[in-house]
């Protein structure tokens, strides 16, 4: 009896020590779980989560080493995210581990169940690849736990912990590690959702920026270079945009992250693939060329661009066409090289959308270029026609004037006088053509000189005597006195002539009034008012444009250039012109000119 009591007394400290050890271990694990929770609260990316999970798990258990893998988007490969205390020699082999490899971590990823390896070593018959890898750096006992990270019922990664000893895993330790794995999986899923949302926002911003760049300029090279700059490095380490111009020459725009790649692309040009060889450019086939993973064999197969591709050394390649119903305008090509990244289906969708928008921008630029060429041809024709017509008109007017003076027949003189009026009218039209060509080329040159605006208006009205008599219209000039200023006499004369001519033409025989007065801020004001047909409000906006008309050409002659020419001259002087009109009431045009030219 005494002996048994003595044995119980001796065993009591042992039970106490064990209980205390279990309590301390539970406390340490709880603290480790709290530390992990705190670390994960600040982890915003999958990489941040991986780092926190591995470091806290190794510290809390404790373990000799730890590693965390993430399952790739295809679900076929484990990709190394973070490791602690692993030998550098084995890390390259663990960077990407296909699930077909026979290792504890791949078993855990395939089955979704933990794999407990309690030592003394990995069974070669079960895990030959893992056993061979471990033995390259370590020859002693070895135990491990491979824990699948499950989120929404699917494996998103694997956490593996290693002990350099032969050991077992009791139920409490397994439950603790399972809690670690659950925490890690939830944090990874949260980080992935956050990263996906941030990625979508970045892609939307990139697409918006590229679209704004394409719309900002009709210079194709400039806008496409802006797109290439926007795409590197977010979607590729280099970007190549080849566009076939109106002359069918293919021009290359590019941007590359590495200076040596930029130098290579600067010296390169697009070359079509030979018929018997596959093309790496969508410009050849008109179809997307999507190669997320490329190797040396793929590079060697691209005969037409083999030298360039060898130098660029891409590991991923993506080329999409700039296609129209009429044919392929070019291609947008993206590649990864130094970064080691690989394109995804999402990258392909983004590139296709960008190519669609770039195609519209290139087409607009080509149409603008063609329009500019057509306008230049038209202006050249107007200039030549104006000069060529002016010479015979001058000769014809001289002959008619001689006929007026030298023929006694009154009827002939009357007819000659009418012919002179028509020649004068034709001369004014020719001069308008010349003004159009000069103004279109930006050649409106002003030669200011002292001018009395009132006297100039009287001279203009004197040239309209015949027209006023024929139309039975009176033109009244209202001016309190002389109104001097410094203007280009010939140009201002043309403005007054255009405005009076329009008032007589559309005034329906009603009196026309000219009013010349001084205006505030040392301006001179000229008002030309008729009481004719007037102009509807919806037609007034385009009257100051070239060839702008508010009446049918068959009823009223002229090119529709008078108001456009007047506006150019007035604004060149630093003045302003505006029109007020209403149908059946008439039209009033007001011109205000500074009396001194603005300093240049």
222 versus 450: the higher-pLDDT residue is 450
The pTM of the full predicted model, rounded to 2 decimals, is: 0.54
CA 114, CA 42: separation in Å to the nearest integer? 27
Determine which helix (DSSP H) or strand (DSSP E) holds 289, and give its type and residue range: strand 289-291
Is residue 600 over pLDDT 60?
A: no
516 pLDDT tier (thresholds 50, 70, 90): very high
Cα–Cα distance measured from residue 94 to residue 100, given in angstroms and rounded to the nearest whole number: 14
The answer, yes or no, to whether residue 555 has pLDDT greater than 80, is no
pLDDT at residue 590, rounded to an integer: 95
According to DSSP, the β-strands at 238-244 and 250-256 are: antiparallel
Report yes or no: 174 and 71 within 8 Å, Cβ to Cβ: no
Encode pLDDT of 482-505 as tens digits: 999 999 998 899 899 989 988 988
Q: In the structure encoding, which two tokens stand for residue 185, read together? A: 């999986």
Asked if residue 266 has pLDDT above 50, the reply is: yes
Percent of the chain with pLDDT over 90: 39
User: What per-residue confidence (pLDDT) applies to 598?
Assistant: 67
In this predicted structure, the answer to whether residue 557 has a pLDDT above a threshold of 90 is no
**pLDDT tens-place string over residues 119-155:** 888 888 888 888 888 888 788 888 999 999 999 889 9
Q: What pLDDT was estimated at residue 441? A: 58
Task: For residue range 64-78, list pLDDT tens digits in order.
Answer: 999 999 999 889 999
Backbone angles phi, psi at 457, to 5 degrees: -65, -40
Which DSSP string corresponds to 464-500? THHHHHHHT--EEEE-SS--EEEE-HHHHHHHHHHHH
Specify the range with the lowest mean pLDDT, choosing from 292-306, 346-360, 578-592: 292-306
What is the average pLDDT score of the chain? 84
pLDDT digits (tens, 9 = 90+) for 562-584: 788 888 889 989 999 999 999 98
Q: What is the pLDDT of residue 558?
A: 45
Spatial neighbors of 496 by CB under 8 A, at least 6 apart, are 456, 457, 460, 526, 528
Above 50 in pLDDT, residue 559? Answer: no
Distance of CA 496 to the CA centre of its chain: 47
């Amino acid at each position: 009896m005494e002996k048994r009591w003595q044995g119980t007394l001796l065993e009591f400290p042992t039970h106490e020590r064990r209980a205390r050890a279990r309590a301390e271990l539970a406390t340490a694990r709880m603290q480790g779980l709290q530390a992990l929770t705190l670390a994960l609260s600040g982890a915003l990316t999958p990489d941040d989560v991986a780092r926190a999970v591995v470091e806290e798990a190794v510290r809390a258990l404790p373990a000799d080493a730890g590693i965390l893998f993430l399952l790739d988007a295809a679900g076929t490969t484990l990709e190394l995210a973070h490791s602690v205390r692993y030998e550098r020699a084995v890390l390259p082999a663990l960077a990407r581990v296909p699930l077909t490899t026979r290792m504890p971590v791949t078993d855990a990823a395939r089955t979704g169940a933990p794999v407990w390896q309690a030592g003394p070593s990995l069974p070669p018959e079960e895990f030959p690849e893992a056993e061979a890898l471990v033995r390259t750096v370590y020859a002693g006992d070895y135990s491990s736990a491979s824990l699948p990270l499950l989120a929404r019922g699917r494996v998103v990664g694997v956490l593996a912990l290693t002990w350099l000893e032969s050991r077992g895993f009791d139920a409490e330790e397994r439950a603790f590690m399972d809690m670690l794995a659950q925490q890690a999986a939830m944090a990874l899923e949260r980080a992935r959702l956050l990263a996906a949302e941030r990625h979508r926002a970045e892609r939307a911003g990139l697409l918006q920026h590229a679209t704004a760049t394409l719309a900002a300029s009709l210079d194709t090279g400039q806008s496409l270079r802006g797109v290439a700059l926007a795409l590197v490095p977010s979607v590729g380490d280099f970007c190549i945009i080849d566009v076939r111009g109106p002359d069918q020459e293919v021009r290359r725009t590019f941007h590359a992250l590495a200076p040596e790649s930029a130098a290579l692309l600067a010296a390169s040009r697009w070359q079509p693939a030979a018929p018997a060889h596959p093309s790496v450019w969508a410009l050849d086939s008109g179809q997307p060329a999507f190669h997320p993973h490329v190797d040396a064999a793929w590079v060697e197969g691209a005969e037409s661009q083999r030298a360039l591709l060898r130098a660029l050394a891409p590991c991923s390649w993506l080329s999409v066409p700039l296609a129209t119903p009429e044919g392929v305008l070019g291609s947008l090509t993206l590649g990864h090289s130094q970064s080691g990244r690989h394109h995804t289906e999402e990258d392909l969708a983004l590139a296709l959308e960008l190519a669609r928008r770039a195609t519209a921008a290139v087409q607009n630029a080509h149409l603008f270029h063609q329009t500019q060429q057509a306008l230049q041809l038209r202006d050249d024709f107007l200039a030549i026609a104006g000069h060529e017509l002016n010479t015979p008109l001058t000769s014809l007017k001289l002959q008619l004037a001689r006929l007026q003076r030298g023929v006694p027949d009154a009827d002939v003189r009357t007819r000659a006088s009418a012919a002179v009026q028509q020649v004068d009218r034709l001369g004014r039209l020719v001069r308008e053509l010349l003004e159009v060509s000069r103004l279109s080329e930006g050649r409106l040159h002003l030669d200011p000189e002292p001018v009395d605006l009132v006297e100039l208006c009287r001279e203009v009205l004197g040239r309209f005597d015949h027209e006023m008599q024929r139309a039975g219209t009176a033109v009244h000039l209202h001016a309190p006195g002389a109104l001097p200023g410094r203007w280009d006499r010939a140009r201002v004369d043309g403005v007054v002539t255009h405005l009076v001519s329009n008032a007589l033409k559309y005034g329906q025989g009603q009196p026309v009034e000219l009013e010349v007065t001084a205006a505030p801020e040392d301006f001179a004001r000229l008002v030309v008012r008729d009481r004719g047909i007037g102009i509807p409000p919806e037609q007034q906006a385009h009257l100051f444009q070239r060839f702008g008309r508010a009446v049918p050409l068959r009823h009223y002659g002229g090119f529709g250039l008078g108001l456009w020419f007047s506006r150019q001259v007035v604004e060149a002087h630093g003045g302003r012109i505006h029109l007020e009109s209403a149908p059946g009431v008439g039209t009033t045009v007001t011109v205000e000119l500074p009396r001194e030219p603005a300093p240049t």
